[in-house]
Structure 1
Amino acid sequence: MSWSGARRVLLGVAALAAAIGGTTTAADAAPSSLFAKVVVVGVPGLTWSDVQASPELTALVDQAHVGSISVKTAGPHTCPIDGWLTISAGTRAWGNVPGQPCGELPAMTAGKVDNWQTYVDRQAEHHTGAPIGRLGQTGYPICGFGPGAAIALAKTDGSVANWQPTFDPSRLAKPDCGDAIVDAGAMPLREGRPEARKKVADLVAQARAAGGWVLLVGISQEVLNAHKQTLVAMQLPPDNGPRWLTSDSTRRPGLIQLTDITATILKGRTPATVDPAGEATASPLDGSEIHFTGDLHTDASAVIADRLGANQRYEQPRPMLFFVALTIVGAEVLAMIWFLVRRSPASRRVAVFTLLVQGGFYIAVFLAQATVWWRWPAPGFSLYAVTIGISVLSAILAQVLLKKYAYFGLALAAYLLLLVDGVLGTPMQLGSMFADGPVIGGRFYGFGNSTFPALALGALVTAGWAAHRLLDRSKLQAAVAVLVIGGAAIIVDGTPGWGTDFGGILALTPAVLLMAWLTWRGSLSLRALITVGVLGVVAVTAVAFLDYLRPADQRTHFGTFFARVLDGDVDDVFIRKLQMAVMFFHGPTGWAMLIAVLLCVFATVFPDRVPSQAYRDFYRSSPMVRPTLLALSVCGIVGMLLNDAGVAVPAIMAGFAVPILVAHLLAKDGTEDLEAGTLPTVEVR
């Protein structure tokens, strides 16, 4: 077969993968006729509560495609200057000094933004290195109104053309105003807010008269310490009836992000920046073109309630994670103290149960989304109660159904749950405690760095258990079982449109191959180790290459990364990941996690030095214990080195594995003591 024939075959495979992955089709996008003009009306601090409180804004809901917009930028907070600079760059930028209040936007002097070079220099302090000035440098006829628009449309030297300090609707019809950006002014914090809402609605009405469509968006929080939430996004008029805004950067109906605005304005034009030598250089955009998807919405009050509920879904998980963790760990500590003091059968059972509840948490954190808790009264408390309840129920079911193998039941449940979630497009990730979510601006789709460890542990423990059951029959069958079970997790985790987790398959693939080899051969030679590594690299490269063959606007970060490798433009990716991984060691928590992870790896590699007879007996109880624990260690260490979450990856795995293993050892030890008629002694070395 010729290369052209092979390429056609590979393109067909890639297209099939895209269809299976459920990517949004071009049929959902707004027709090109509406792209004759895009008028972006940016309003810092415009919330869905404002829409609810304003009859004028409420009236726009059924006349628009609607959604929420994530305004996370490069800095820790999003002030108006950060939002406008991000639109300028098409990449997360920052302008406000961390820890200082949101200041006034810079003024214009002699056709240039004041102190522009200060903002240029500030981008170099962040790993994104945002190319501010990109939108203005394109040379396309975009006109601006208001101080924020001047920042968005400034060129790389800070100069601004085709700009006016106040909005003039008559300018929109002129040839030099192909698209437009309007700064409608920040929403007042207290007095004057109702008037500001009406002003925004009136401005939208004037902009609509120019033809094309108007994109009304919140572009930042009002003040530095504002309660974070996703803001308003509306596109007027709607095409084919009012539906939900989305983009390929979020792949979530009703959700876009700030960088999508730049991609939408450029809409197929080649973005460029200009280096100091004056040569144009291509630079990828972080966002994607905004379009619409989903069913019609015709009830403004229901839409607003849905958006307010979505904000609860995005805001509550992280605060509640602390209280859930405090409750579970507190119960474990009290139960273990009681057990160490009393050594009674009752105290042992309580200690075992609380440890299993922590294992159940790794199921509850995802399954809680099925309860739609954000629509309940007191959403924060509802999430807390639901998560604790499912954790406890999971522990009860595991003990009742599997008894001494309860630890395996929890791992299996997490494995199956996340496989199903991945195939369905990860609906249980958005709004879970293990997802960064739109407010934090992390992963919008697929498996994140917190979800992957739960899937990896579930897959490896399940594979180890299956191999244990088959090992007496055939080592080859046992190894195949490892490959099938682990391979399913790799496929779901890595497939674009499902898990879409590049770093995850980099860590899980060698771990599964290592476990399969040890299951089959029992030992590992240098040649086998090299083979495992090469096969892992080949598998990951193949997935990235197939994704790369798809059109650029349909690629996930697999294909995007492959393209950047071909272009020799990956240095900043590795620098960004390294910087984010190192951030964990700015405080004692990161170092504590690292020490805990290293102790777990030590116990895996040197089991005879662990001061626990129960653990040493367990290590020798089955030929599959060693391969499973080694695979877990390899997955955790590789994940730590190759993911921007760093030490958090193996720490989350340990947080799942250690409690259920200790619960198993305690329960097993208690059973043996009862059979012998004695209580155990603690061995200290």
Structure 2
Amino acid sequence: MPRPPGLVRAVSAAAAVTVGVLAVFGGALPAGAVGATAGDTVAAAVAAAESEPNPVVVIGATGLRWEDVGALTTPALWDLSRTGAVGTIAARSLRPSACPADGWLAVSAGARASDLASDPYGTCRRLREPGTDLLVPGWADYLESAAQGNYGAQPGLLGDTLASAGVTATGVGPGAAVALADSDGRPVGEHVRLPATANGLTKTVETALETSQLVVIDVGTVRDPGQLTVDRPASALDTDGDGQPDPGATALPEPGEILEGDLTAPDAVTEPARSEQVRTIDERIRAVLEAVDESGQDTTVLVASLADSGRQPHLQLAAAAGPSALATGEPYEENLLESRSTRQPGYLMPTDITPTILSALDLRDQVTPGALVGSPATGVPGPPLASQRVAAMVDQDRHAWAVRPLVAPFFMLLIVINLILYGLVTLGLNGVVLARLSSGLSRALPGRIGRAVADGMTSQPGMVLGALRIAGVAVASIPVATFLANLTPWWRVQPASYALTALIIGWVAVITALALLPRWKSWLLGPLGVVAAITAAVIAVDIATGARLQISALMGVQPLVGARFYGFNNQAFALFAASTVLLAVAFANPLVKRGRPGWAAAVVAIVGVVATALDGLPSVGADFGGPPALVPAFAVLALLAGGIRIGWVKALGILGAAAAVVISFAVVDWLRPADSQTHLGRFVQTVLDGGIWPVITRKASQNIEILFGNALTLLAIAGIALVVLVLGRPLRAIASAPDGGPFGWLSAGAPLTQLGTDAPMLRPGLVALAIALGIGFALNDSGVVIPAVGITVVVPLLVAACAGWMLSVRPRQPR
């Protein structure tokens, strides 16, 4: 839908002041956007009109990785890596691993799309050439799958755009038929079956380049052993285009029924090896490149592996040569590929192929805004030698593959460690529980041994508190240590899990030692502030400089999932939000104690503004769900630090301010060119197009699914239960005890209410944390991850702070 001129003028005027403020923090607008003049625009338009787009050749495959490439085994790909740009593709579709149909549908729709759920054997559909009616086999399934999904995919978008623009196109092979099909399922332009020989393919492409501006070639697929694609039953096809299965179509297979193409025992012997499949594809790529050279035209060539070779996902091969898809871009030569979708050198998405094609053909503006989720591939500097660039791409896949099996065990271990700490605090150090336990031991063990054990359990409170503070700080340091571990290439060591474990333990030890230096230990919230500062600083600096540490980190971005590659994902936001709130608490606490609430409120506000800007600016954090959580949290914390009570009017004003901030970020991003937008700007376009409900439905379903099916739920519930049990009603009862109640043996009889006096910002800090993590949970998909991850930092640091306070009050108590 075109943007209403009146709306643009109104939004531009309203956003002008916001843009000026936001630019101070990170440059929300692209460099040079303000300085462009009308004359420059006219000149650029005239130059564009006079120039004819270069031909585009897209060579598509599936299952092809850079580790398959060698100077002797795949000479065509090796030569391309020396002269062109290289990258990897995160081929994730709607399932953990992408089938060939999924990858080619992503090119057709410019968005995540997939085939219908596979047959009972979990296999992928074998792509077939269109029949005599020119209808792509399985198109009815593809449309049904898109209708069932919540990603707004429109199979046939590329074909419809080419047809409406009058672009001549030629498709070669079954995958090309899917990519170039219009919304009715028939390829636009001319479709040619894949020739049986390399020479035949060369002649076919040469002929196509004489008449076509776009040539798409499916050069084949690589499949893992036992993962051959199979023919889908005829009932899944609608060859007459009436939306119903054809008369006489067979039913879905019964378990045990053999379909054409199924792998049987004899097939397992004759199945081609991976290396043989790769050589065949390389020969076809060589044939296509020879045709491009013979044409004598300055042609943009894209090579992309669009899907996985089996059920185990890997990063796929991507390469490009010739003129850039963008008029202002550098040629694809001796560098790495990147797109605005990933903002990471060497990483692309399948959905980036369609914008690249359309931009190269100067058709990008003819697509409805918001229909494409990807961005054109561009070249960025990389290692100087081709061998180094290829090695870097292989390294990216090995890194992603090495961390993948470690993520689930790590989170389970983190949950266990936190639960042990929680249990130790709530039960193990409770004086009543210890008294009963020591009484039982003294009766069970004979004589002096029983009395010695019973007395020893409560005779060294100082040692117990010291160990508890160390434990709390160490456990809270684990999340940031997982990011810092990526400073070292642990995945190149075997076994990689041992190397990663050693690095995390080492970083935990370093951070714990820093937090417990004498200078910080004497400050009541010193250790808490140090760990929070390190966590917030590492995440902020990493994201501001490209989010390199997050890639393939245990608590970071997983490329094989194909989600966010830049900015704040849910886990990074949870850690950042919790750490910045705790940091503000640590800074403001001494000011409140000294009777300077105004200064305390100002400090909180400064931390909040910086944190919100880093999180929400499209050029930095690009987080849509973060500012609505951070703004209310820091606003409430600042007001409470200043001694101001919060009523309904102020609460509504805070929520309104949060909405205004996030809308400002999104509108500023929307005002940028389509290919420069992040998901913030695309969300605005989605709202204008009336597509907000599918987005809400998708995020809600993902949130509910994770809430009831993720191990992190256990951690979230346990952490919340601890806060409620220890800091809720039971704590008020214990705190009212003049001798410290069940924990009096640790505090030497000091009442726990004294903690509220010595650390007056702790209670407001807990309120702010509940707001930030609670709103984050409600507004984000996989929202349960936010409170669960935040608790891994918050609760251990609160335990450490309480232990430090008890140590500080003990010397003042009479012995």
Q: TM-score range by the shorter chain?
A: 0.7 to 0.9
Would the alpha carbon gap of residues 616 and 232 (structure 1) be closer, same or farther in structure 2, given more than 3 Å must change? farther
Q: Distance in 2 between matches of 1:14 and 1:159?
A: 51
Would the alpha carbon gap of residues 605 and 633 (structure 1) be closer, same or farther in structure 2, given more than 3 Å must change? farther
1:169 to 181, 205, 219: 205
Q: Distance in 1 between matches of 2:638 and 2:340?
A: 37
- The DSSP-based 3-state class of the residue aligned with 1:358 is helix
Matching residue of 2:355: 263
- The DSSP-based 3-state class of the residue aligned with 1:39 is strand
Residue type matched to 1:638 in 2? Answer: I
1:159 aligns with 2:253: no
Q: Distance in 2 between matches of 1:163 and 1:240?
A: 28
1:122 aligns with 2:138: no
Matching residue of 2:292: 208
Q: Distance in 1 between matches of 2:309 and 2:479?
A: 36
1:442 aligns with 2:462: no
Residue type matched to 1:127 in 2? Answer: N
What is the CA distance between 1:163 and its match in structure 2?
A: 1.0
Residue type matched to 1:513 in 2? Answer: A
Matching residue of 2:68: 50
- The DSSP-based 3-state class of the residue aligned with 1:185 is strand
C-alpha contact 1:313 1:374 (8 A) present in aligned 2:
yes
1:657 to 787, 791, 794: 794
What is the CA distance between 1:11 and its match in structure 2?
A: 10
1:136 aligns with 2:159: yes
1:250 aligns with 2:335: no
| TM-score, scaled relative to structure 1 | 0.88
Matching residue of 1:233: 318
- The DSSP-based 3-state class of the residue aligned with 2:642 is helix
1:459 aligns with 2:580: yes
- The DSSP-based 3-state class of the residue aligned with 1:461 is helix
Residue type matched to 2:215 in 1? Answer: A
Residue type matched to 1:259 in 2? Answer: T
What is the CA distance between 1:597 and its match in structure 2?
A: 5.8
Matching residue of 2:603: 481
Would the alpha carbon gap of residues 561 and 332 (structure 1) be closer, same or farther in structure 2, given more than 3 Å must change? closer
After superposition, the C-alpha distances for 1:192-238 in whole angstroms (9 at most, x for unaligned) are: 23532532442342343343121111111112x22x22111110237
Matching residue of 2:488: 371
Residue type matched to 1:487 in 2? Answer: V
1:483-498 superposed matches below 5 A: 483-498=605-620
1:179 aligns with 2:214: yes
C-alpha contact 1:14 1:546 (8 A) present in aligned 2:
no
C-alpha contact 1:134 1:271 (8 A) present in aligned 2:
no
1:362 aligns with 2:456: no
1:631 to 756, 768, 771: 768
1:558 aligns with 2:558: no
After superposition, the C-alpha distances for 1:358-405 in whole angstroms (9 at most, x for unaligned) are: 211122122223234345565443333212221222122212352263
- The DSSP-based 3-state class of the residue aligned with 1:314 is helix
Identity across matched positions, percent: 27
Rg larger in structure: 2
Q: Distance in 2 between matches of 1:143 and 1:547?
A: 36
- The DSSP-based 3-state class of the residue aligned with 1:43 is strand
Question: Which segment drifts farther, 509-518 or 358-367?
Answer: 358-367
Would the alpha carbon gap of residues 617 and 229 (structure 1) be closer, same or farther in structure 2, given more than 3 Å must change? farther
Question: Which segment drifts farther, 198-207 or 156-165?
Answer: 198-207
Question: Which segment drifts farther, 35-44 or 636-645?
Answer: 35-44
- The DSSP-based 3-state class of the residue aligned with 2:320 is strand
Would the alpha carbon gap of residues 188 and 636 (structure 1) be closer, same or farther in structure 2, given more than 3 Å must change? closer
Residue type matched to 1:71 in 2? Answer: A
- The DSSP-based 3-state class of the residue aligned with 2:302 is strand
- Paired residues in the alignment total 662
Matching residue of 1:36: 54
Q: Distance in 1 between matches of 2:796 and 2:280?
A: 54
What is the CA distance between 1:106 and its match in structure 2?
A: 4.3
- The DSSP-based 3-state class of the residue aligned with 2:509 is helix
1:87 to 97, 107, 111: 107
Q: Distance in 1 between matches of 2:597 and 2:15?
A: 40
Residue type matched to 2:363 in 1? Answer: R
Matching residue of 1:101: 123
- Structure 1: 5+ residue stretches without partners: 274-280, 679-685
What is the CA distance between 1:34 and its match in structure 2?
A: 9.4
- The DSSP-based 3-state class of the residue aligned with 1:184 is strand
What is the CA distance between 1:188 and its match in structure 2?
A: 4.6
After superposition, the C-alpha distances for 1:518-557 in whole angstroms (9 at most, x for unaligned) are: 2223421111111111122222222222222222222222
Would the alpha carbon gap of residues 616 and 501 (structure 1) be closer, same or farther in structure 2, given more than 3 Å must change? farther
After superposition, the C-alpha distances for 1:292-315 in whole angstroms (9 at most, x for unaligned) are: 1225x4422212211111112323
Matching residue of 1:278: none
After superposition, the C-alpha distances for 1:116-144 in whole angstroms (9 at most, x for unaligned) are: 21221122222214211111222132221
Matching residue of 1:74: 94
Would the alpha carbon gap of residues 549 and 137 (structure 1) be closer, same or farther in structure 2, given more than 3 Å must change? closer
C-alpha contact 1:317 1:433 (8 A) present in aligned 2:
yes
Matching residue of 2:379: 292
C-alpha contact 1:317 1:383 (8 A) present in aligned 2:
no
1:308 to 370, 373, 394: 394
Q: Distance in 1 between matches of 2:378 and 2:54?
A: 15
1:503-522 superposed matches below 5 A: 503-522=625-644
C-alpha contact 1:90 1:259 (8 A) present in aligned 2:
yes
1:196 aligns with 2:318: no
- The DSSP-based 3-state class of the residue aligned with 1:391 is helix
1:64 to 77, 81, 84: 84
C-alpha contact 1:479 1:520 (8 A) present in aligned 2:
yes
TM-align CA RMSD: 3.3
C-alpha contact 1:246 1:292 (8 A) present in aligned 2:
yes
Question: Which segment drifts farther, 136-145 or 484-493?
Answer: 136-145
Would the alpha carbon gap of residues 13 and 178 (structure 1) be closer, same or farther in structure 2, given more than 3 Å must change? farther
Would the alpha carbon gap of residues 506 and 332 (structure 1) be closer, same or farther in structure 2, given more than 3 Å must change? closer
- Structure 2: 5+ residue stretches without partners: 1-8, 34-46, 195-200, 225-271, 324-330, 438-456, 736-742, 744-751
C-alpha contact 1:56 1:198 (8 A) present in aligned 2:
yes
1:430 aligns with 2:517: no
Q: Distance in 2 between matches of 1:11 and 1:645?
A: 30
